[in-house]
Every structure is written in C-alpha cells, then in structure tokens.
Chains A and B, each alone.
Chain A
Amino acid sequence: DSGVTQTPKHLITATGQRVTLRCSPRSGDLSVYWYQQSLDQGLQFLIQYYNGEERAKGNILERFSAQQFPDLHSELNLSSLELGDSALYFCASSVALMSTGQFFGPGTRLTVL
C-alpha cells in the first residue's frame, strides 16, 4: 500500500458525460501527478500540482482539467467524454517538487460506453 488513495475504483459512463476522479496523496506529500494508462498510448503524464499550484502539463486534452485543494487532495475532471478516453487513470504523489520517485495510487478504471 503506497498510501495514495483514489476514488472511485471503477467508473462506467456514456459518451458526452463528465466525471470527476479524486486522489488523496500520501500524508506529508505536497506534489500530485496524474497519469493516463491506455493500451495504445501506454503510460502518459497528464499534469502536476504542487501545494495547490499547477507546475507542469503533459499530454492533457483541453476537455480535461485538474485542481489541487488546500487539504492537498486533487481532482481530475474529464468532460465531453469519448470512447477513446477509456483508460486507467493514476494519481501519484511525492514530498517535494523535485522528489526522487513518485508513489502511485491503485488507479481509477474509466470505461466510456
């Protein structure tokens, strides 16, 4: 158990809908990262937050957005969902902005029908 929690574990929804994925980092970790794992794209970095502020952006679609709250939990919002958004979404956390190693949560499996 990495100490990173993600909810929900599974999410099934329809095209065009909007969903919110939630992540709680390990106790004491200030940095949160979101990754997407799909069969065709592999593991891809989406976005990083540090102490409430966005710090780095990867291959994140404009339909996706994220935020980190004062209690350091983070939410990833996915809107206008398409079939191709079906994937595993992982949250990871680390102590500092440039920490060695990131600790991953169990993931949220999103299925878009």
Chain B
Amino acid sequence: GEDVEQSLFLSVREGDSSVINCTYTDSSSTYLYWYKQEPGAGLQLLTYIFSNMDMKQDQRLTVLLNKKDKHLSLRIADTQTGDSAIYFCAESIRAAGNKLTFGGGTRVLVKP
C-alpha cells in the first residue's frame, strides 16, 4: 500500500543547508514531489523527480532519490528565513491514477 513518512520538525540556521527526509513504501511510485506550504497558503510545487532518476538539481534545491531504500531527500542550500514553512513530500503512482499521496509534512524553522 501507499505510505509516505516524514520527520516532524527541522531547525536550521540561516545560511546553512537544510536536508528534509522522506520515506515511501510503494516501489511502483512513478513521480515523487516536494511541496511547500506557508502559513495560511496553499501548496506550492517546488520540484519533482521521476522514479528512474537519482538526483535532480534546481537552483538552491537538490533532490536525491534512493530507490533501493525508498528514501527521498530535499536539500535546500543557503537556507533563508523565507524558507520557513512546512514541506511535504508526495508520491504518485501511474497505475493508481494521478492522485498524490502525501507525507505528514516537515516543519522547517530557519533561525537568524
């Protein structure tokens, strides 16, 4: 079945790198996503990775996928106070339609 897990909280100093981790159980995941939710706002699509890729870089964001361990991470370089938010990882499985199954979210607090 589909299950996506994330740690609850991450505190990081401004200028440092943040690493947010996610594990998933379904090996047939097609795409894995990272979304950002700021207080009172909707979810903003940050980046995604296809399941046959190991890594994707997009400006300050680096996504690493270890398919063997079913582990996904999001690294944010040079973390800024504006990066404080809740980050959700999500998977979609083509055979199950295009619905997203989300993790519980990681709250990231960036301290000046």
Contacts and interface: CB of A to CB of B under 8 A. Distances in A.
Interface of A: 2, 4, 31, 33, 35, 42-45, 48, 55-56, 58, 90, 92, 94, 97-107
Interface residues of B, number: 22
Contacts of B43: 43, 90, 92, 104
A104 B42 contact: yes
A106 B42 contact: yes
Contacts, number: 59
A98 B94 contact: yes
Nearest to B99: A45
Given A43-B88, A100-B31, A56 B44 contact: no
A20 to B, nearest CB: 19
A55 B41 contact: no
B53 to A, nearest CB: 12
A39 B96 CA distance: 25
Contacts of B33: 101
Contacts of B101: 45
Nearest to A6: B42
B100 interface: yes
B44 A2 contact: yes
Nearest to A4: B42
24 contacts: A2-B44, A33-B98, A33-B100, A42-B104, A43-B43, A43-B88, A43-B102, A43-B105, A44-B102, A45-B99, A45-B101, A90-B43, A92-B100, A98-B98, A99-B98, A100-B31, A101-B33, A101-B48, A102-B98, A104-B35, A104-B42, A104-B44, A104-B45, A106-B41
Contact of B98 (A2, A48, A104, A107): A48
A103 B48 CA distance: 13
A94 B33 CA distance: 14
Given A101-B33, A101-B48, A107 B42 contact: yes
B99 A100 contact: no
A12 to B, nearest CB: 16
A48 B45 CA distance: 18
A55 B98 CA distance: 9
